[in-house]
Amino acid sequence: MRDKRSWLLTDAIQRPKEKGRFLPTYMGDYYLRLCTSIGCKVGSKHTEVFVSPKSDKAIDRLFAKHEIADSKLKLLINPGASYGSSKFWTAEGFAETAKLLRKKLDCHVLLVTNPEEKELAKKIVNTANGGVVDLSQDHIDLERLKALVNKTSLLITVDSGPRHLAVALNKPVVVLVGPTDPRYSQTKQEVGKVVRAAVDCAPCHLKTCPTDHRCMQQIKPQKVAEAAVGLLTKRRAKPRKRKAGIL
């Protein structure tokens, strides 16, 4: 019950509050409350997605095409978001992060975007001086994206859809958050690290920044790279408990 809509509802569900103010909560839990309010039981809060053998083989062919070695870590960058430009980080930031990771780790850094973001991908690749494998020119639909995320070691992204694929596939993910409150999208299931800049105007939840976009501009590549290395170190020390499903 928010935004004065309670009069439209037969049975309104009170949103949680803290110190008299609305408390942002993970949206998955919010929607589950809608279900439990009418008597449904929650069997599990773990999200799941399944990867088809066809998509799995397609990504194997893609890796062969780009000479991506099985023996190396594969770090995937997803720079875009359909929400709006306020969620975007800088091309220079992603490029510098790729350079730092290649210095620290024996890895491939891969880049995936949607078709409308090819210019952004081109700028990142050019700024990285050949340190990024550009997959933006390849046809990677949602089915193949699931397989791609499943075959990589870690995802670096803004607060976007691919982040939730990483969560469902039990993949480490570094999430760059600026204009949105991370409590809406962060689940305990996530093996991840949220990187934010300490600015007084965030979260604003605006799709386009009306000022200087400081919430994203002030995120440092060093912090992003450190978060990625830290997650990979923990993953190596702790074996995976759950595998992604294959249809």
Q: Are residues 195 and 158 in the same domain?
A: yes
Give the count of beta carbons closer than 10 Å to the beta carbon of residue 99.
18
Q: Are residues 114 and 156 in the same domain?
A: yes
Domain extent at residue 20: 1-45
pLDDT at 175: 96
Let me know: does 218 contact 195? Beta carbons within 8 Å.
Answer: no
Domains in the chain: how many in total?
A: 2
The single residue listed with the structure tokens 């023996």 is 71
Q: Are residues 26 and 135 in the same domain?
A: no
Mean pLDDT of 169-183: 93
pLDDT digits (tens, 9 = 90+) for 37-65: 888 998 888 888 999 999 999 999 999 99
Q: Are residues 120 and 210 in the same domain?
A: yes
Q: Are residues 105 and 151 in the same domain?
A: yes
Let me know: does 186 contact 203? Beta carbons within 8 Å.
Answer: no
The pairing of strands 107-111 and 133-134 is parallel
pLDDT at 7: 78
What angle in degrees, to the nearest 10, is found between the helix axes of 91-104 and 118-127? 50
- The closest alpha carbon to 169, from 243, 73, 74, belongs to 243
Q: What angle do CA 26, 174, 187 make, to 5 degrees?
A: 20
Q: Are residues 38 and 91 in the same domain?
A: no
pLDDT at 242: 52
For the domain that residue 157 is a member of, what is the CATH number?
3.40.50.2000
Q: Are residues 106 and 66 in the same domain?
A: yes
pLDDT digits (tens, 9 = 90+) for 203-239: 999 999 999 999 999 999 999 999 999 999 998 877 5
Q: Are residues 152 and 65 in the same domain?
A: yes
* 12-21, 99-108, 110-119, 178-187: the lowest-pLDDT one: 12-21
pLDDT digits (tens, 9 = 90+) for 130-166: 889 999 989 899 999 999 999 999 999 999 999 999 9
Q: Are residues 202 and 83 in the same domain?
A: yes
pLDDT digits (tens, 9 = 90+) for 79-112: 988 888 899 999 999 999 999 999 999 999 999 9
Q: Are residues 57 and 41 in the same domain?
A: no
Half-sphere exposure of 212 (CA within 13 A, CB side): 6
pLDDT at 146: 97
pLDDT at 99: 97
Mean pLDDT of the chain: 89
pLDDT at 199: 95
The whole-angstrom separation of Cα 83 and Cα 89 is: 13
3-state secondary structure of 210: coil
Q: Are residues 225 and 241 in the same domain?
A: yes
Q: Are residues 25 and 5 in the same domain?
A: yes
Which has more confidence, 126 or 31? 126
pLDDT at 198: 93
